[in-house]
Amino acid sequence: MMRYLAAVLALCLAQPVWANEAEQDAAFRQCVAETKDEGVSTSYHHCTGALVTSCGNEETAKAAVDCINTSRDRLKGKIAVATEVLSAETGEPVQEIEATLADTRASGESACALMARNDADAGVAVGQRAVNLAFCELVAEGDVYALLVVLEGTE
């Protein structure tokens, strides 16, 4: 898991840095559209990772974690808005849409908890563990947002 996460992070840091949030969201949505047939479980990770390319330039683990967490908070806001929009467009109650997303979110949270335990057991440095966990949690939210983007496209 650690090598996989490191490989995904390296791939993500090679992605372009977007000028603004709207451009970033459009690129994320395009990435999801291009990979949606591959499935949510892993194909969207690089789409999400591209949201934090600038975080690779941070000087400390704490600064990188703060940068990643800021992106995750923005993503959570987008999820809330997209859920409301999808509800308005389909007439499906927000709670039902959230229930659809819950399994994806729970799976991501479980994977992050496992990764954190494995990192600790392997003696990974505390700062690196914090960065790994923040990135994993961002990817988990990215999978939720990607699922919403796919659901929007199926109407």
pLDDT of residue 1: 44
Please provide the average confidence, as pLDDT, over all residues in the chain: 83
CB distance 47 to 31 below 8 Å:
yes
Q: Distances in Å between the alpha carbon of 108 and those of 68, 74, 82?
A: 16, 18, 19
Report the share of the chain in percent with pLDDT over 90. Answer: 50
- The separation between CA 103 and the C-alpha centre of its own chain, rounded to angstroms, equals 15
pLDDT in tens, 40-96: 556 678 788 888 888 888 899 999 999 999 999 999 999 999 999 999 999 999 999
Distance (Å, whole) CA 42 – CA 5: 11
pLDDT of residue 26: 87
pLDDT of residue 33: 85
> What is the residue type of 19?
A
Q: Which two tokens stand for residue 17?
A: 């840095």
pTM over 0.85: no
**93-114 average pLDDT score:** 93
- Inter-axis angle of helices 61-90 and 126-153, to 10 degrees? 20
Q: Distances in Å between the alpha carbon of 99 and those of 53, 89, 109?
A: 31, 17, 15
